[in-house]
Amino acid sequence: MNLNALTIHQAQDLLRRGEISSLQLTEAVLAQIESLDESIHAFVTVTAAEARAQAQAADARLAQDGVAAPPLLGIPAAIKDVVSTKGVRTTCSSRMLEDYVPPYDATVMEKLNAQGIVLVGKTNMDEFAMGSSTEHSAFFTTRNPWDRERVPGGSSGGSAAAVAADQAIFALGSDTGGSIRQPAALCGVVGMKPTYGRVSRYGLVAFASSLDQIGPFTKDVTDCAIVLEAICGHDPRDATSAPNPVPNWPEALKQDVRGLRLGVPREYFGAGIDPEVEQAVRTAIDQLAGLGVAVEDVSLPHTDHALATYYIIAPAEASANLARYDGIRYGYAAQDAETMWDAYSRTRGQGFGSEVKRRILVGTHALSSGYYDAYYLKAQKVRTLIAADFQEAFERVDAIVCPTSATVAFKIGERIDDPISMYLSDLYTLPGNVAGLPGVSQPCGLVQGLPVGLQFIGKPYDESTLLRLAYAYEQVSGKSYKPALSQGAPH
Average pLDDT for residues 104-121, to the nearest whole number?
98
Task: Give the tens place of pLDDT for each residue, 251-271.
Answer: 999 899 999 999 999 999 988
Which residue is catalytic, options 21, 80, 405, 459? Answer: 80
Q: Closest Cα partner for 80 from 69, 72, 91?
A: 91
Q: Does 367 score more than 70 pLDDT?
A: yes
155 flagged as catalytic:
yes
CA nearest 415: which of 182, 217, 211, 205? 182
Average pLDDT over residues 154-164: 98
Give the strand order in the sheet containing 294-298: 43-46, 118-123, 76-80, 170-174, 214-218, 190-193, 439-447, 450-458, 399-403, 261-265, 294-298
Q: In whole angstroms, give the CA distance from residue 477 to residue 409.
A: 22
Q: Among residues 137, 155, 241, 425, which one is catalytic?
A: 155
Tell me if 237 sits within 8 A of 270, measured CB to CB. Answer: no
Q: Cα separation of 39 and 362, whole Å?
A: 35
CATH entry, 3-257+437-477, from 3.40.630.30, 3.80.10.10, 1.10.3720.10, 3.90.1300.10: 3.90.1300.10
Percent share of the chain, pLDDT over 90: 94
pLDDT in tens, 444-491: 999 999 999 999 999 999 999 999 999 999 999 987 789 987 544 332
Name the average pLDDT for the chain. Answer: 96
Instruction: Specify whether 369 is catalytic.
Output: no
Query: So what's the pLDDT on residue 486?
Result: 52
Letter for the amino acid at 423? Y
Question: Sorting pLDDT into bands at 50, 70 and 90, what band is 113?
Answer: very high
Report the alpha-carbon distance of residue 338 to residue 283 in Å, rounded.
63
Find the mean pLDDT for residues 373-395: 97
The arithmetic mean of pLDDT across residues 365-391, rounded, is 96
CA distance 310 to 409: 22
Q: Hey, how many other C-beta atoms are within 10 angstroms of the C-beta on 464?
A: 18
Q: Mark whether 480 is an active-site residue.
A: no
What band does 160 get if pLDDT is binned at 50, 70 and 90?
very high
H or E segment at 53? helix 48-65
pLDDT tops 60 at residue 187: yes
pLDDT in tens, 419-434: 999 999 999 999 999 9
pLDDT at 487: 43
Judge if pTM exceeds 0.85: yes
DSSP 443: E
Each residue of 305-329: pLDDT tens digit?
999 999 999 999 999 999 999 998 8
Q: Is the pLDDT of residue 188 over 70?
A: yes
> End-to-end alpha-carbon separation of the chain, Å?
25
Residues 430-451: tens digit of each pLDDT: 999 999 999 999 999 999 999 9
Where does the pLDDT of residue 350 fall: very low under 50, low under 70, confident under 90, or very high at 90 and above?
Answer: very high
Per the residue annotation, which of 22, 93, 179, 241 is the catalytic one? 179
Which residues, 6 or more positions from 347, have their beta carbon under 8 angstroms from its beta carbon? 325, 326, 327, 332, 333, 334, 337
H or E stretch at 382: helix 378-393
Output the pLDDT for position 244: 96
C-alpha 70, offset from chain centre: 24
